[in-house]
Amino acid sequence: MSKRALPMLLAAVIPLTGCGLRDPYSQQPQKRPAAGARNALAPVADEALKPTSSAPSVLARYADAWVNWSAATLPHERAALLALATGQLAEQLRQDVAQAVKTQLQEVSQSYSRGRYVGLIRQRGEPAIVVTYEEVAPLGGQAQGGYHVYLARTEHTALGWRVTAWQPATDR
Alpha-carbon separation of residue 64 from 11, 83, 100, 109, 155 (angstroms): 22, 13, 23, 22, 19
Instruction: For residue 116, list its beta bridge partners.
Output: 133
- Measured CA to CA, the distance from residue 122 to residue 153 in angstroms comes to 10
Q: Which pLDDT value is given to residue 29?
A: 43
Q: Any idea where the domains of the chain sit in the sequence?
A: 5-22+51-168
Condensed to tens digits (0 to 9), the pLDDT of residues 11-30 reads 444 444 434 444 444 444 44
* pLDDT band (50, 70, 90) for residue 96: confident
End-to-end CA distance of the chain: 11
When the pLDDT of each residue in the chain is averaged and rounded to a whole number, the result is: 74
- The architecture (CATH level 2) of 5-22+51-168 comes to Roll (3.10)
- Measured CA to CA, the distance from residue 161 to residue 62 in angstroms comes to 11
